[in-house]
Amino acid sequence: MEDRAFERTRSGRVRRYITGYIILILILGLLIVLNINTGSVKLSVGEVAAILTGGMKDATAYNIIWDIRLPRLITAMLLGGILSVAGFILQTFFSNPIAGPFVLGISSGAKLIVALTLIYFLGRGINMSSVMMIVSAFIGALMSMGFILIVSARVKRMSILIICGVMVGYICSAITDFVVTFADDSNIVNLHNWSMGSFSGAAWGNVGIIAAVSLLTMVLAFMLSKPMGAYQLGEDYAKSLGVNIKVFRVELILLSSLMAALVTAFAGPISFVGIAVPHLIKSLFKTAKPIVIIPAGFLGGAVFCLFCDMIARTLFAPTELAISTVTSILGAPVVIYLMLTRSMER
């Protein structure tokens, strides 16, 4: 009897997970089609299909699809997914649903160091490689992360930690704006777009490394889902279950910083995705189990960023909005909701 009841609830849960994944994949598929089709040059589904299968090679549309829309689409999907998982890792690490790469100032730290190194190298006529971009973003992310860790060791109240993170973000952004404003090299004009956050710079040259680092970090995150599950019950319990807390914490810090760095290096800072998406996904799946939420969060982040990017580039076309303009409008209300419904005084 009891076993049957148990089997029923378990299969009910598994069904919910499968349904959740199917919904996410369907929306993702729909958004991919919409994203390829819409833009300042309208194309029919038939034309797009022809182009993707190798036809219409001489038309401008061919170049628009292959050189602009496709790399941008892939970049937005991968980086959106990674950003959302980075947020979930940080929320687990700080046991705080409002932690995320943007509010903790990690994205802005990465942005600052990338801007500084870019200006330094461009000023000397050297182009930065994608690896150098990621490395400098990673250093910046770790600097902000280090500061946040020092604060979190001193104050236990989560609200203070978030405020400190937001302030770090402001400071880093202010310095970035300052150096970008006064940098005179013509190449740096592009920097302005990037420092506001945008997928518009996406190019095939970067897609390879973005995909490689995304895959690597996702595999690592997935492999950490077991200790993350134990850690959700509290550090002491995780320790008593045999989790090596020191190593585990370092792993989470490095991994989430690398993820935030990857996103910032290629798309600039993108706000609130890291908080809003994991929350929505957890509500949809009615669980916080890392083994379920890490892949689902990736899909959710991909869906969310594709949708936001489509709005950003089509709503006032040909003028493009910064991606954060859209993600903030959609994501910030979720954060406010979370703050109102959760006790922050822990």
Partner 1 sequence: MDGDRILIKAERLNVGYKDKTVVSDISFEVCRGEILTLIGPNGEGKSTLLKSLAGYIEKLGGNVFLLGKDMESISPADKARHLSVMLTGRTDPELMTVRDVVSVGRYPYTGRLGLLSKQDNEKVEEAMRLTETDELADRLFNEISDGQRQRVLLSRALCQEPQVLMLDEPTSFLDIRHKLKLIAILKRWIKRDGLAVVMSLHELELALRVSDKLLCIKGGKIDRYGTPQEVLSTDYITELFEIDEEECMEAIGVPVQNIL
Name the site residues for partner 1 (rule: CB under 8 A).
Answer: 2-3, 6, 9-10, 97, 222-223, 225-226, 229-230, 232-234, 236-237, 239-244, 282, 286-289, 291
Residue 100 or 197: the one with the smaller Cβ distance to partner 1 is 100
Cβ contact 67:204 at 8 Å: yes
Residue 96 or 264: the one with the smaller Cβ distance to partner 1 is 96
- Start-to-end C-alpha separation, the chain: 41
Residue 13 or 192: the one with the smaller Cβ distance to partner 1 is 13
Shortest distance, position 13 Cβ to partner 1, whole Å: 9
Shortest distance, position 346 Cβ to partner 1, whole Å: 8
Residue 39 or 297: the one with the smaller Cβ distance to partner 1 is 297
* DSSP result, 97-136: TT--TTTTTHHHHHHHHHHHHHHHHHHTT-PPPHHHHHHH
- Here the tokens at position 261 are 């760095």
d(CA 268, CA 118): 13
Shortest distance, position 101 Cβ to partner 1, whole Å: 19
d(CA 6, CA 14): 12
Of 146, 191, 152, 158, the C-alpha closest to 339 is 158
| Sequence-separated (6 or more) residues with CB below 8 Å from residue 207 | 71, 74, 75
Q: What are the C-alpha distances in Å from 302 to residues 73, 110, 189, 295? A: 10, 21, 28, 11
| Sequence-separated (6 or more) residues with CB below 8 Å from residue 220 | 251, 255
Shortest distance, position 4 Cβ to partner 1, whole Å: 11
d(CA 179, CA 116): 8
Shortest distance, position 250 Cβ to partner 1, whole Å: 16
Shortest distance, position 302 Cβ to partner 1, whole Å: 22
Residue 142 or 238: the one with the smaller Cβ distance to partner 1 is 238
Cβ contact 40:28 at 8 Å: no
Shortest distance, position 299 Cβ to partner 1, whole Å: 18
d(CA 296, CA 302): 10
Neighbours of 98 (CB within 10 A): 24
Residue 72 or 282: the one with the smaller Cβ distance to partner 1 is 282
Shortest distance, position 251 Cβ to partner 1, whole Å: 14
- Here the tokens at position 202 are 């996406």
d(CA 221, CA 86): 9
Shortest distance, position 211 Cβ to partner 1, whole Å: 24
